[in-house]
Structure 1
Amino acid sequence: MKFTTPAVRNPIDRLKVVGKPTSRIEGRLKTTGTATYAYEHHAPVPDAAYGYIVGAGIAKGRIVSIDLTQAKAAPGVIAIATAENAGKLGVGQFYVARALAGPEVQHYHQAVAIVVAETFEQARAAAQLVRVEYARARGSFNLEEERGNAPAPQPLQPGPTMDTAAGNFEAAFASAPVTLDEKYTTPDHSHAMMEPHASIAAWKGDKLTLWNAIQLVSWGTRDLALTLGIPRENIRIIAPYVGGGFGGKGSIQSDAVLAAIAARLTGRPVKVALHRHLMFNNTSHRPATIQRIRIGATRDGRITAIGHESWSGNLGTRPESATVPTRLLYAGENRMTRLRVAHLDLPEGNAMRAPGETPGLMALEVAMDEMAEKLGLDPVDFRILNDTQVDPESPGRPFSKRQLVQCLQTGAERFGWERRNKKPGARREGHWLIGTGMAAGIRGGRLMKSAARVRLDRKGQVTVETDMTDIGTGSYTIIAQTAAEMMGVGLDKVTVLLGDSASPESAGSGGQYGAASSTAGVYAACVKLRDMVANRLGMSGADIEFTGGRVRAGGNSRSLLDAVAGGELVAEDVMETGDLGKRFAQQTFAAHFVEVGVHAGTGEIRVRRMLAVCAAGRIINPTAARSQIIGGMTMGVGAALMEDLVVDKGVGFFVNHDLASYEVPVHADIPEQEVIFLDEVDPTVGPLKAKGVGELGISGAPAAVANAIYNATGIRVREYPITLDKLLPKLPKMA
């Protein structure tokens, strides 16, 4: 099925199952510890050995020699793989860092060896006995120093460069009556997901089965085939449950590659999990940015010029695309965005929840607050004044749906924005300075090609198969809701099988397109299955209806079971996209509101309450969607106040590479969160008229926290995270 015209009324619009708050259908398995994650598949591989990765002790240079003598003699050791016996290795498309160093070392903790033993403890002990001699080389680790040498990145797809321009920005900015020109920085961030990167690899002849923690199964088979140099069809990846990813598990990483190498070398299945200390430097992260934002406006607050430049660093040429939200969020005739990426010899920078939008809005939405203050305008009113219903870079392209103004107005009313003290530092409760802040959010919502297979068996059970993953987002449930709605049965009559590359290829979990795309693929397969059922029953007509386990048309009613009396029915289809994504700007929008307290004596910051108002198409499952939004809001608090992957700029590695020193929010940091979804259907995105919310919750949230801190203290901090040491010297003296 190809989606080429906006959706009209269809069976989903009955909303008997879709759109209802629904508990996770796999929730009991997860809460009882019986959901099987990547490292826990014992039954299929009863004779598995254990692998332990040795990470490089330098950030740049060459391996001179590796002495394995003591390690090989250690108890239980079966084999040790290095670049010398691993065979020729390539690189996948999504991650560019090599899985195994040798002889060159690209970054600190890049794998240099994997020790395989009968037990995990034996492998770990033997790994300490591997002796590596390095020849260090001078590396580049400082983004600020390398900024002047940072070229424009090449586009990820063939087409125009990543720099954009409209009108004459420089002239318009120079002549604007009111201007702002500020620099903002965001640090490196770690994904810090609960489940570590983990794999079990098993060979049967030339066929590889990999149980893996991954977000996009099809990317995994593609990239593993490219890395190992084997046919893609010889690889099967199984990932029924994934304990978080945030982009860090987009495709295969070193655990998968080295497990496969070790399994091939030993002739045994091999289990590999990256220990937490290794994950921070061995895998990918969100790159740091340096951003310059310039805004020019008339005295009544209309933006006439807006420019956004961003510098990030990486091993390859992939930039952190922080200018993306500026290209779409506000009106302004004269525009300019520029991306630059410096070469840094740090671990690879790549996708992390809302890549581009998260760091970009951390700067843009603070700049908008600063500009509103210069203009003497309320921050909400300033944003509303500069709303646009067309893509500001392509005025002929309208937004498919854009309810940003409604988000802002609803949020302001619900939050009590009118009670806000506009004077920074003016509201006190004892020793606490109280402030409120807000920010807008934007994140893409598009349809991607996605397929599914649907079975109707003789018991009336509907089974859905697709390689879509559930990374804690609720994929099992929304896919079940879609199939139940289409086939007219209850959720108890639907079984969902996910995360297996042997199933039809889905869009996967990433880019906030997973929900809309995977359910669209299920919709397409169900349309085909409905036709097959109707043909078996000899029923047709525009009034045909599947409901309550029956099929009704033209006054006739038959049971679904009648259609499968002669055998089960199986339908498979793929939802493909047309050009609607080019004709319309398809985005989701949010307004974030935050109240904070800052202790006047210590500078301690406490978030007191948060509100997000979101417009994101039809919400398939409000329970799961709310969970995604508050998760993003919580990550936003981390980005604003805590998260800082500190670079040792002399040695070239992330110093705080564990969850004790890389701080993330805990329950006590987040006392009150509220989420409101505006009523919205977007027929241009897909047959369910839904978009996605997985990344909207973080988009704008850190800036709302930053703006609230400024309102509380009168201190503007433009270098994230906002820690108390940046406030203490400027705090007012306690009475």
Structure 2
Amino acid sequence: MAMKPSVGQPLSRLEGRQKVTGAAEYAADYKVPGLLYGYVVSSTITKGKIIRIDTSAAKALPGVVEVLTHENRPGLAWFDLQYADMDAPPGTVFKPLCDDKIRFNGQPVALVVAEDFEMARYGATLVQLNYEEESFVTSVEANLGAARAAKKGIATALKPPPPAPTGDFEKVYSAAPIKVDAEYQHGIEHHNPMELFATTTVFEGDGKLTIYDKTQGTINNQFFVANVFGLRYKDVRVLAPYVGGAFGSGLRPQYQLFLSVMAALYLKRNVRVVLDRHQMFTLAHRPQNMQRLQFATDENGRLTAARHAAFVETSSYEDYTEVISSWSHRLYPIPNTRFEYKVVPLDLSTPIDMRAPGGVTAMHAIECTMDQLAYKLGIDPLELRLRNYAEVDPSTGKPFTSKALRECYQQAASKFGWSERNPEPGSMKRGNKLVGYGMATGVWDAYQFPSRVQAMITKEGKLKINNAVTDIGTGTFTVMTQIAADELGLPIEDVIFGYGDSKKPFSMFQGGSSMTSSTGVAIVMAAKALKEKLLKKAKEMPESPLVGVAEKDITFKDGSISLRNDPSVHVSFRAIVAANKGQVIKTTKMGKPHLLKLRKYSKMTHSASFVEVEVDKDLKTIVVTRAVTAVAAGKIINPKTARSQISGSMVWGISKALHEESVIDENLGKYVNPNLAEYHIPTHADIHQLEVIFADEKDELINELGTKGVGEIGLVAMPAAIANAIFHATGKRINRLPIHFDELLA
């Protein structure tokens, strides 16, 4: 009986038991002998400089080993690096304890290092600082006059500036019979993964370090540490086999990594630094932004003109950017366009990519504007999308490698019951609730990055795959094991996937919904080379039954190479390794995107979300009662983990639309809700019926697997669909996220 292929099967996560039983070790869990604990002292002002720092009380505590500040930190760590990591935006990277300058509230100003954690934490309360404060700005809305074009940098290829205008937007828009001019505003969001940011640095001596870190990219952090501290790459090893969520916050090295390494090198001891939840709000976040959209159509609903302007927060020292303004032109054909993107420097820490960066921001504004146009035209919102459906990429004129968005619309609308919608706002009721239906489109890039994989057959006939990729909870470990198993015709239990280690072959950081295509393709390439080597070795064996057999006449299955027409004739992997004097048979290959071939095409994933809300007639409380999202993402390797990714994104979409916001006191320049009690996220009671559909989309061009990512595409359409459903229920347009029920009372 033939072994059932693993790819396409809803396999449960292979590391699931370790995670739910507590056996999985995260960055702050590793048992290290002679460990010292570092606790960060954070600034209490937003901008200015330190004029006095007194560490004597902290140093006098029993068990406190050292207090590091800008006045006594070691000099070995400082190079004038503009780009210290692979995800750094243009500007000057933030260097903790570099000088006396305060750039944002909560900035690390000292590190107390002690023999135990509690003494380090207590010592941090005794460090006395005096500041000279300066005026600061923390609001995009209040500082639009400072908006400017962003500097160009190494990230420009992945985050290009807005395209040049097309046609004559002003003339066509002003003369258009149907048009919408709307402004949108988004507050700050913080990633808030369950695992706190932590680093355990093991000092091995002779400048060698082993670092257990919370990161989405072991090699990126190895690159950072080696460059900043002047170490050899091979002497820095970063491990992150388990990551308790990240959502983009671990793309760049965070400051606890720097402080842990600095202290370990200075004291020649093992040092652990863990940020508390409050300190997690001093680093990575989705930036606040404002957008203005002006869309116009003819009488039949065909888009004729579009302007999309975005004003987005960045820090005073780096120019963080996102792709926001140009998404409308990648989704809908519009002959007359104008796109703008400007940064507003603020006295906050540099933002960082957060799940579906730029895409979810843009699509909320675009799809709510489309909804307004539909009501002005008297056209069903779904019909308006179909009338403006792009068969080729409108921004380039290139065909898509595949596009099943139409199927997403049809299948999701049918499953949801969109045809039962009464288009009149406020007309649908259920008891004391106003019922609203809303829909929106989602789009995201189908990224693939170079990745290098080592594949080997062990003495036991098992397949071992090595790659530095992390698994931040997306199911990467399981999915890569499935791909590898099918490539060599092995059961899952005979595949060992080694990952999360900078000593293993190259991988980009995990982000952009790219890892299945990046590492997965590299596995295919390495497996192909390994099979060729195995067959060659098998033919060289004494009295081999495979001598003279063509590659097309053999198959790899059940740990053997066998004749396709006569499986009884076979040579096992174990026998091949034994004949190789017991030496493992291995190969290393690079998987990379087909840039030359694919430059003629556009590569995107698509989705459609349909949402029902109930709004209490009196209290105006909002509940998302059900939602359906259909996704076109090429071949789905594991429907179970992929569905988990989409449903998790849908939950985040509900959170972004209705709950999630970091609130700044503009007088103090600090967040007033830096904790999980007051930073609102959905609970089980907020999440009701969610359904996920995968549209059948075969893509034979995009890569060897036919895959596109699913990490972000389930999120991008949800906030707009919810906002549109609230309008349908109440007749009120609220363009600021998150939407609070009190805005419906006004």
Q: Give the structure-1-normalised TM-score.
A: 0.94
Pair 1:480-2:481 in alignment: yes
Q: Which ranges in structure 2 are unaligned for 5 or more consecutive residues?
A: 540-545
Does 2:181 align with 1:181?
A: yes
Aligned residue type for 1:186: H
Q: Could you tell me which residue of structure 1 aligns to residue 146 of structure 2?
A: 149
Alignment of 1:33-432 (within 5 A): 33-42=22-31, 45-84=32-71, 85-87=73-75, 88-90=77-79, 92-93=84-85, 94-95=87-88, 96-100=93-97, 102-157=99-154, 161-204=161-204, 205-281=206-282, 283-315=283-315, 316-395=318-397, 397-432=398-433
3-state SS of paired residue (1:201): strand
The residue identity in structure 2 corresponding to 1:169 is F
Paired residue secondary structure (2:732): coil
**Corresponding residue of 1:672:** 689
Q: Deviations over 1:483-530 (max 9, x none)?
A: 100011000101111100000011331011111111111111111111
Work out the CA distance in 1 between the residues paired with 2:500 and 2:40. 26
- Is the deviation greater in 198-207 or in 157-166? 157-166
- Structure 1 stretches lacking a partner, 5+ long: 1-13, 730-735
Name the structure 2 match of 1:3.
Answer: none
Supply the distance in 1 between the matched residues of 2:516 and 2:442 (Cα, whole angstroms).
Answer: 19
1:138 Cα deviation (Å)? 1.4
Does residue 559 of structure 1 match 2:559? no
Separation (CA, whole Å) in 1 of partners of 2:389 and 2:222: 43
Native 8 Å contact 1:447 1:685 kept in 2: no
> For residues 108-135 of structure 1, what are the alpha-carbon distances to aligned partners after superposition, in whole Å with 9 as ceiling and x for unaligned?
1111111111111010000100111111
Distance in structure 1 (CA, Å) of the matches to 2:530 and 2:460 = 16
Structure 2: distance between partners of 1:603 and 1:625: 35
Q: Report deviation, 1:561.
A: 2.1
Deviation at 1:685, TM superposition (A): 2.4
1:232 is displaced (CA, Å) by: 2.9
Cα deviation code 1:157-209 (max 9, x no counterpart): 46774343222222221222211111011111110111111110122221121
In structure 2, give the amino acid aligned to 1:722: I
Give the Cα separation in 2 of the matches to 1:161 and 1:325: 12
Matched letter for residue 571 of structure 2: R
Which residue of 2 is the match for residue 684 of structure 1? 701
Deviation (angstroms), 1:267? 1.6
Q: Contact between 2:202 and 2:269, CA under 8 Å: does it hold in 1?
A: yes
Q: Which moved more, 1:483-492 or 1:224-233?
A: 224-233
The CA deviation string for residues 395-426 of structure 1, in whole angstroms up to 9 with x for no partner, is 1x111111111111111111000011211111
Q: Do residues 594 (structure 1) and 581 (structure 2) align?
A: no
Q: Are 2:634 and 1:620 equivalent residues in the alignment?
A: no
Alpha carbons of 1:132 and 1:40: their partners in 2 closer, same or farther (altered >3 Å)? same
**Letter of the 1:624 counterpart:** T
Q: What letter corresponds to residue 228 of structure 2 in structure 1?
A: T
Alignment partners' CA distance in 2, 1:161 and 1:358: 17
- What is the letter of the counterpart of residue 553 of structure 2? D
Q: How far is 1:324 from its partner?
A: 4.0
Structure 2: distance between partners of 1:377 and 1:86: 67
Aligned-pair Cα RMSD in Å: 1.6
Contact 1:203 1:263 in 2 (8 A): yes
Offset of 1:554 from its aligned partner? 6.3
Contact kept in structure 2, 1:153 and 1:162, CA below 8 Å: no
Is residue 569 from structure 1 mapped to residue 570 from structure 2 by the alignment? Answer: no
Cα distance change on mapping 1:284 and 1:495 into 2, 3 Å: same
Q: State the secondary structure of the residue aligned to 1:40.
A: coil
- Residue 140 of structure 1, CA deviation: 1.8
Equivalent in the alignment of 1:11: none
**1:319 Cα deviation after fit:** 2.1
Report the Cα offset of residue 15 of structure 1: 7.9
- Residue 141 of structure 2 aligns to a residue whose secondary structure is helix
Q: Percent identity?
A: 36
* Separation (CA, whole Å) in 1 of partners of 2:670 and 2:98: 16
In the other structure, the counterpart of 2:654 is 637
Residue 680 of structure 1: how far off its partner (Å): 1.6
Q: Distance in 1 between matches of 2:326 and 2:472?
A: 25
| 1:7 matched residue in structure 2 | none
For residues 275 and 153 of structure 1, the distance between their equivalents in structure 2, rounded to whole angstroms, comes to: 32
After superposition, give the CA deviation of every residue in 1:136-163 in whole Å (9 maximum; x if it has no partner).
1111212112212211113344677434
Asked if the contact 1:506/1:521 (under 8 Å) is kept, the reply is: no
Contact 1:454 1:465 in 2 (8 A): yes
Instruction: Note if contact 2:452-2:519 (Cα within 8 Å) is conserved in structure 1.
Output: yes
Q: Count residues with an aligned counterpart.
A: 712
Deviations 1:314-364 (A, max 9, x none): 112122332242231111111221100011011221100010101111111
Specify whether residues 242 and 581 from structure 1 end up closer, same or farther in structure 2 by C-alpha distance, changes over 3 A only: farther
Distance in 1 (alpha carbons) for counterparts of 2:433 and 2:644: 30
CA separation of 1:76 and 1:506: change in aligned 2, threshold 3 A: same
1:719 corresponds in structure 2 to 736
Counterpart Cα distance in 2 of 1:222 and 1:319: 22
SS in 2 for 1:301: coil
